[in-house]
Structure formats: C-alpha cells, structure tokens
Amino acid sequence: MQSIELLWIDDEIDLLQAHILFLSQKGYNVYKAHNGQDAITLVKQQHFDVILLDENMPGMTGLDVLDELKRLKPSLPIIMITKSEEENIMEEAIGAKIADYLIKPVNPNQILLSLKKNLDATKLVTEKTIASYQRSFQELNGLLMQTQSLDDWCELYQKILFWELELDNIDSPELQEIFRYQKTEANLTFSRFIEKNYATLLFEDNERPFSHQAFKQLVAPRLESKPTLLLVIDNLRYDQFKSILPIISPHYNLISETEYFSILPTATQYARNAFFSGLLPSEMEAQHPQWWKNDTDEGGKNLHEADFLAAQLKRLGINVLHYYSKINRPQEANKFLDALRAENAETLKVVVYNFVDMISHSKTEMDVIKELASTDKAYRSLTKSWFQNAMLLDIIKTAQQKGYQLIITTDHGTINVEQPAKIIGDRESSTNIRYKTGRRLKTGDKHVFMVTDPRRIGLPSINMSSSFAFAKDNYYLVYPNRYHHFVNYFRNTYQHGGISLEEMCIPFAVFSPK
C-alpha cells in the first residue's frame, strides 16, 4: 500500500501521539507542524495528500492558515478540527471550501473516516457502484422481458437513466460496455414494441399520453391555480433534463415528474405542433390547412405554434390570457425577460427554447462540437455547462421571483446514431436521417419500421403512394447515392425522428417557487 502524506497542524500536536500512531498503522505518513507559519513553509517545500488543521492556535489562527493554504494549493483537501461550535466559524470554513469539519474531542476512527471520505471516495464509490449494478443487471433484464405497456417502459427507462447517471461517476470501461449492451437491448425491444402496438396506443387514452394528448392531460389541469411559465426546451433528452435539475433546485421545488411519449416522427414539425395543437398531424392538415406544412412543402414548418395553442385553448374551454415566445437568439431572450418582469395579466406564459436543438445539429457540421459532445456523458456535461450560464436560467430565476409555477418539458429527444440502414426512394423523398417520407420507399433492413398507410398512425398522405420509414435503435437512413460519404458524415451525430427510448420517452416536470 502506498503511503499517504498527511500534514497535521496543531499547537498541541505533541499530545496527539496516540492518534498519529493509529494513522501511521493505517498507512498514513504523518508530518507535524506546531503553528501556521511552519505549516506554510512545509507545504511550499513538499507534496501532501491531505491536511488536518486545528482552528484555534496562537499567532495565525486556523482560518488565517486556511486562507493561505488555499491560495498556495487550491485543490489540497483540508480537514478543520475545532473546539468551537460557533456558527460563524463553521460558515467561514465551509465558505473557504474545506473538505470536512470535525469538532473536538475527536477519536482516531472519526479522523480515519473523514480521511477515507476525502481520499478514497472515488475508489469506494466505484466499488459500491459496480457491486450495486451487478446486482441490478438481472433485475433490469427481467423487467425488459416483462414490458407490456407504456407504463412498464417508463419504469424500465427510469432505472436505465438512474444507472446511466450513476456510471458517469466511475472509471470502468468494462462496466460501461456492459451497460451500453443492456441499453441497446432495451432499445431494440422497445422498437419492436412500438412497431407492434403504436397504431393502437396512439388512439387510446393512455395514462402516459402522446404528444397530441399531453397538453390536455398534463398542462391544462394546472392552469387554474396560479400564473404558469410553460418552458418547452426543444430536443431535450431525459438524461439532459436530469443533469440540469440540481441547477433549478435552489429556485424551485420539484412537485411532480412524469413521462409522456413523442409521436412519430420524433421531429419538431410533427411532435411540437402536435403538443401545441392537441391534434395528430393528419388532423392538423384537415382542420388547419392554412397552418400545416408537409415535408415536401416550402417554408417553415413550425411558424404557427402560437396559433395552434390558441385554437387548442379555445377548444378545451380554457379562458386564460397567454403569451407565446420562441427563443433562438439572446435578444429574443431579453425581450421575453422584459415581458416576464412587466406587470401584466397573462396567466400562462409559454417559451420555446431552441438552444439544445442547435447543439445537436451543430455536432453534425462542426468538428469542435463533435469533440465536445463525443459521447452521451459529454453531451450531458455540455448541456449542463450551457444551462448554468444561459439566459434561460435568468428567465427561471425571474419567474421564481414573480411567483410563477414552472412547467418544463420538451417535444422529443435525440439519439447518437452509429449504424447505417440503406433505403431507396425517389427524387422527392425527404432528406431526414432518422425518418423518411415519400413515394416508393423500399428497404430490406429489419432495423427500419415501414408504414405504407400513414393515416393508420395519424400522419398525412401527401399522395396515394406515400409512406414513412422510421429508423430503430441507433440506426440512420442513407440513400444509395453517395452512400459511403453520407455514412461517414452522419455516423456519431445526434439525430431525431426515429424510434428509441431517448427520442420518444420524454420528461414533464412541475415546480413551485421557493
């Protein structure tokens, strides 16, 4: 066992020989300093893994020494030991980012526990996580074999998300590979479930609604109680949502969290329009042809979300003043912040925030984003870093100050695609990577869900021979023309439109202001 270099700073260090002997037997090489100045000199001269620091010393106080040591070695763990239980001393020490705080009298095992917590935490967490996942592996496999409903899939996906985030904290490539295999199996099984049951489930009243049912079922019942900020973050995966929750928690309490399912295609023009309209795409085309555009139509496909929302509110008999804003640029965020701060009567404020969608699309086109979001873990980290510094967080803080109830959701998720599936279509077929629509679409790939009658799943038929193709799991659709070029260009990029848990199972969370 490699010796751990420990510096103990205490003006009565000679009275602590029993403690020092105990730590020496546990593998700690203990250096002694009787005062702060001697300790600072030692720290300048040699390496230490951890420091024990007495708070109450003559001359330089423990807090003075702490400030100087943090300036010299910001990442060096320092455990403060004190007789005092005064709150202001604790606050100063914690504010200086000490590793731990112990109150005298302390016994050797208490000190050892604190040292292990700070020096061996990574190793202990890794060992515990590996053992726990190994026990849960068979449980997840069992749940996978028993999934028969959308509720079952939500339960399973929540467990997968839990382990995905837990495994972020350990360095075990072997375990990561086992988890990736298990997650792939889950997505393959989920794809088969959707292929078999989607046309039936879509038209049922499910406890877990689809996009066109979500507003009526999840949002509408909450609009009578208090002013509400409905925040739709485009393209936000469930794991990304989990990663930003701790940033929201200082400002809002999480009241409820549930899931709903994106319709197919899991693409903005379909899923988000369905959310705001409360209608399936074929119904939007029939009832609001002036607002709906098919893939083959020219012009923006999501220019009438505010109109769809107003029509749905009227149809549901919800008579609330509302304000809608779509934010793509900082100046648009500033404009919405001004509206939020103003004294006004809107009961419902709706924001569509597009930044996460921009990250996923940029990964396809920019090498720097490919490197920053090379894995799902990196993608989560990038999203969290953005959110911590985004104007969106200012919007959330302002809403909290104004007493707004906060609802956060999305329209669909996204998946990192890795495996190509060849598909044939005519010149007018769409260019989407996770789904295709057009005439005479053909494929022999079993990882593609073909729908020859779009209206069977609530989609428009552009002409008599229209069909849709949806990629399953992490596959992506490539036409034969320049096949190898596009295979390489799109591999390891984030795409949406197809069938996967990441794209279809999405969060819906309600918060109350603190």
> Using one digit for the tens of pLDDT, what is the confidence trace for 215-236?
999 999 999 768 999 999 999 9
Average pLDDT over residues 85-103: 71
pLDDT in tens, 155-186: 999 999 999 999 988 888 888 899 999 999 99
Q: Which CATH superfamily is domain 4-119 in?
A: Response regulator (3.40.50.2300)
What pLDDT shows up at residue 163? 93
* DSSP letter (8 states) at residue 424: B
* pLDDT reported for residue 97: 73
Mean pLDDT, rounded, of the chain = 90
pLDDT at 289 over 70: yes
Q: Which CATH number fits domain 211-414+502-513: 3.40.720.10, 3.40.50.150, 1.10.3720.10, 3.40.50.970?
A: 3.40.720.10
Distance CA 160, CA 171 (A): 18
Q: What is the pLDDT of residue 134?
A: 86
Q: Residue 288: which pLDDT band, with cuts at 50, 70 and 90?
A: very high
Q: Would the pLDDT of 240 be above 80?
A: yes
The residue ranges of every structural domain in the chain are 4-119, 123-201, 211-414+502-513, 416-500
Question: What residues does 421 pair with on adjacent strands?
Answer: 477
At 98, the pLDDT band (50, 70, 90 cuts) reads confident
What kind and span of H or E run contains 147?
Answer: none
Whole-number pLDDT of residue 90: 64
Using the predicted structure, report yes or no on whether residue 414 has a pLDDT greater than 80.
Answer: yes
* pLDDT greater at residue 306 or residue 378: 306
Structure tokens at 485: 């070029």
Q: DSSP class of residue 3?
A: P
pLDDT at 93: 60
**DSSP element (H, E) containing 417:** strand 415-417
Helices 150-167 and 173-201 sit at what angle, rounded to 10 degrees?
A: 160
**Is residue 35 scored above 80 in pLDDT?**
yes
Task: Report residue 368's pLDDT band, with 50, 70 and 90 as the boundaries.
Answer: low
Note the pLDDT of residue 104: 84
Predicted confidence band of residue 84 (pLDDT cuts 50, 70, 90)? low
- Give the model's pLDDT for residue 2: 64
- Please tell me the predicted confidence (pLDDT) of residue 51: 92
Name the residue with higher pLDDT: 342 or 357: 342
* Alpha-carbon torsion, ordered 358, 361, 367, 370, to 10 deg: 90
Mean pLDDT over residues 411-417, rounded?
95
Higher local confidence (pLDDT), 191 or 89: 191
Identify whether the C-beta of residue 475 lies closer than 8 Å to the C-beta of residue 498: yes
* Integer angstrom CA distances of residue 193 from 94, 187, 188, 292, 408: 51, 10, 9, 30, 27
Sign of CA dihedral 322, 351, 213, 225: negative
Mean pLDDT of 176-202: 95
Query: 102-111, 406-415, 476-485 — which is least confidently predicted?
Result: 102-111
377 contacts: CB under 8 Å, gap ≥ 6 = 168
Mean pLDDT on 405-420: 96
